[in-house]
Structure formats: C-alpha cells, structure tokens
Amino acid sequence: MAKKFSGFPPDAFGFYADLELDNSKEFWTQNRPRYEAAVAGPMGDLLADLAGEFGEGRMFRPYRDVRFSADKSPYKDHQGAYVEVGPSCGYYVQVSSGGLMVGAGWYASSTELVARWRAAIDEGVHVPALRAELTRLERAGMEVGGEVVRTRPRGVPADHPDLDLMRHRTLIVSASSGYDEPWLGTATAGTRVRSAWRRTRPLVQWLADNVTGHSPD
C-alpha cells in the first residue's frame, strides 16, 4: 500500500550515478533494495498522491529493450512514470542521477497522429490558442521540445504561416531540477510536480482534443 509521498531521498540520485558506472546485472541484483527504497517506492507514493487529480499513473519498467540497440546496457539510467490522457499523450515525471524532470505533452509519433497534428495546424483555427499556451509555459520556465523534422515536410509550402509547428512530429514541454535541490527530499517535490502538471493541463487538453484523442475511462 502506498504511503504519503515525502520526497526522493538523496540515494535516488546516488543509485543512478552508481548505475551509470556499472550498468550490469550483478550491480542491479546487489543494489535492488536501494532501487526499491529510494526510487520505486517514492515514485509509487507520488503517483498515488497525484491520482485523485490526474488519474492513475504507471511506472515504466527499469529494463532497456536492447534487441535493436547497439547499446546493450540492460538497465535504464532513469526511472520514468506517466499518466495517460490520450494515446501517446499525458503527464510525465522522471528521476535520474541529474535530478528531477517534469513534463507533459504528445510524446510518441505515428503516421496517423502526425497527420492529425498537421491537419489541425493547417486548419489554423486552434493555432492561436496553442501558441498562447506554449508562450505561457516558456515564460513559466518550461522548455518546448519534441521530435522535429530537419527539413520542410513534404507537401507543406515554404511560406506556410505555421511552418515551425508543421515540422513537429511530437510536442512536449519540460522542466528540470538538479539533484542537489534540498526540497527534492521533502513533500515539496510532490507539490512542484503537481503544480507543473496543472500548468501544462491546457496544453495536454489541446493535444487530446485536436491530435491524439482521449483515453477511454
């Protein structure tokens, strides 16, 4: 049973710093109790605290899929968790050796979703609201990112008024805090994640309404 979230202890970040030096099954087996106590346990408590407002959250598995990767390191160098609002769309939080990252948006592209995104941007009706949200979030200290094609998408005219948006294949916003922030080990960390997710809610809503759709209840 989850308990009230009280922060991420220093060893959450220390565990991943050590894992970066020895990403092996032997290290993982020996240090699994550290992972459970400092990372997985607190992350589960955080998700439980946020569930009443944002919905049920899920943690990503700590194991890497190495089948098609040149990097055969078996374990991820971070622990991520998310709340899904629509297909490939929702809220995200991550702990790593560097600290805490909080984000939201549309995070995985597909032919269908990219087509919906470009249709929504090309139509133009809802673009001013989107740009207003992105500007507001940038002013609040969040970084706008996502997968972007290097060149102009096929069929999009060079003088398209929203060419910068048309180049996106995903759209996310994020903010990071260093591992040495003293509030990370307190309940304030949960308050900050909640505040960031609340701040991004209009953007997530826009994406679910215009691109990804909503997940069934």
Instruction: Look up the pTM and report it.
Output: 0.94
Domain count along the chain: 1
Q: What residues make up the domain containing 155? A: 10-212
pLDDT in tens, 26-67: 999 999 999 999 999 999 999 999 999 999 999 999 998 877
Instruction: Return the axis-axis angle of helices 127-139 and 188-207, rounded to nearest 10°.
Output: 160
Q: Does residue 30 lie in a domain region?
A: yes
Q: Could you tell me if residue 34 is inside a domain?
A: yes
Q: How far apart are CA 120 and CA 172, in angstroms?
A: 17
Say how far apart CA 171 and CA 135 lie, in whole Å. Answer: 14
Does some domain include residue 3?
no
Domain contains 136: yes
Torsion of CA 110, 111, 112, 115, to 10 degrees: 120
pLDDT in tens, the chain (217 residues): 567 999 999 999 999 999 999 999 999 999 999 999 999 999 999 999 999 999 999 999 999 887 777 778 999 999 999 999 999 999 999 999 999 999 999 999 999 999 999 999 999 999 999 999 999 999 999 999 999 999 999 999 999 999 999 999 999 999 999 999 999 999 999 999 999 999 999 999 999 999 999 987 6
Residue 84 sits in a domain whose CATH number is: 3.30.930
Q: Decide if 1 is inside a domain.
A: no
pLDDT of residue 171: 98
Give CA–CA dist 180/126, Å, rounded. Answer: 40
Q: Write the pLDDT tens digit of every residue in 83-92.
A: 999 999 999 9
CA 171 from centroid of its chain's CA atoms: 11
Say what the pLDDT of residue 181 is. 98
Predicted local distance difference test score (pLDDT) of residue 2: 61
pLDDT score, position 102: 98
